[in-house]
Structure 1
Amino acid sequence: MQLFASELVIQASIGGLRVGDMIFALVSFAVLLWLLKKFAWGPLMTKMEERENYIANEIDTAEKNRADAEKAAKEANEQLQATRQEAQQIIEDAKKAGQQQEQAIIQAAEDAAARLKKSAEEDIAREKEKAIEALQAQVATLSVQIATKVIEKEISAEDQEQLISDYIKEVGEER
């Protein structure tokens, strides 16, 4: 047996190695590997796959969120552009309305001025008519007074012509 044991011992420069110990170590290592594969490696790989799937899903979600954010930013820019155009249109419409209102105010002022002018002209014509009527009344009064003077005193033809021309001059000056 010693021979057998000696054969199983491999001589090495630094101590000897025993084949039995090596076989035991190999079997123990194999059992350990099998146990690790069954109880640790499988669950570890399952967890690693879950983690990989989780990371992949997170990357997909992030890509989707990025795409959604880009789409939302694009829509916001389009909406902002539309709002700017609408604001510009409102400003232009307000300018046009202001110009139209300005023209309407100017036209109304011109119409009012024309009405005032016409009214003033009518007032002037009425006052002129009143003045002519007053003048005619005064002429009638003067005529009566001249006739009274003529009747009171008899005058010559020359004096009568002188009275008439004086009267015409007075009437002309009053006008």
Structure 2
Amino acid sequence: MENLLKPDIGLMFWTLVTFLIMVVILKKIAWGPLLKALEDREAAIRGEIESARKGRLEMEGLKADYEKQLAGIEARTRQMLAEAEQKGARSREAVLKEAGREARAIADKTRQQLEAEKERLVRELRSQVGDLSVGIAEKLLRQAVDKKLQDKFIRDFVKDLDSRDRASR
């Protein structure tokens, strides 16, 4: 019983040496790969966030382009309506009834064209926004699944190290 209470310098020395060797081994085997995996994961997430930001900026640019096109179509429509009204005013004396009918026909046709063009542009915009949203969501979901697998791998690796440590005792 007295031997347990007296410190043995040799035993303390070898315990310290063994501990330092284990720290070096764990640093080379476990910490290096774990830190590298975490850094790789961080870089991948940053890349995905940047990609999502670029996608959003591109989507905003497309939206602005479509709004410009829509404004141009509306301006052309207003111009066409103005031309039709001028034509009707010049020929009003000769054929007032016919000119009024032609102006209404041109205006209706122009409105229909505008509505058709507007619907086409809205469908196109929705399709592209949908495609971009699905692409971004797919990337984010893929990252979430990869993170779960990576967390499981890390937990299994740590358990394995604990098992080896217990077995070596």
Q: TM-score under structure 1 normalisation? A: 0.49
Pick from 85, 89, 98: which aligns with 1:147? Answer: 89
Partner residue in 1 for 2:27: 86
Partner residue in 2 for 1:61: none
Partner residue in 1 for 2:105: 166
Secondary structure at 1:112's aligned position in 2? helix
The one-letter amino acid paired with 1:96 is L
Gaps of at least 5 residues in structure 2 are: 1-9, 115-169
CA distance in 2, matches of 1:127, 1:92: 52
Question: Aligned runs of 1:92-107 on 2, under 5 Å?
Answer: 92-107=34-49
- Measured on the aligned residues, the alpha-carbon RMSD in Å equals 2.9
Q: 2:128 aligned with 1:128, yes or no?
A: no
Partner residue in 2 for 1:18: none
CA distance in 1, matches of 2:96, 2:79: 27
Identity of paired residues, percent?
Answer: 3
Q: Which has the higher helix share?
A: 2
Partner residue in 1 for 2:156: none
1:156: how far off?
5.1
Bigger Rg over Cα: 1
1:134: how far off?
2.0
Report which stretch shifted further, 72-81 or 109-118: 72-81
Note closer, same or farther for the CA distance 1:164–1:141 as it changes in structure 2 (3 Å cut): closer
For 1:54-106, what per-residue CA distance to the aligned partner results, in whole angstroms no more than 9, with x for missing partners? Answer: xxxxxxxxxxxxxx9xx999877544422221121121111111111111111
Q: TM-score under structure 2 normalisation? A: 0.50
The one-letter amino acid paired with 1:115 is L
Note closer, same or farther for the CA distance 1:147–1:174 as it changes in structure 2 (3 Å cut): farther
CA distance in 2, matches of 1:161, 1:143: 9
CA distance in 1, matches of 2:72, 2:102: 27
* Stretches of 4+ aligned residues off by more than 6 angstroms: 71-76
CA distance in 2, matches of 1:121, 1:132: 16
Question: Aligned runs of 1:12-31 on 2, under 5 Å?
Answer: none
CA distance in 2, matches of 1:123, 1:108: 22
Aligned length: 104
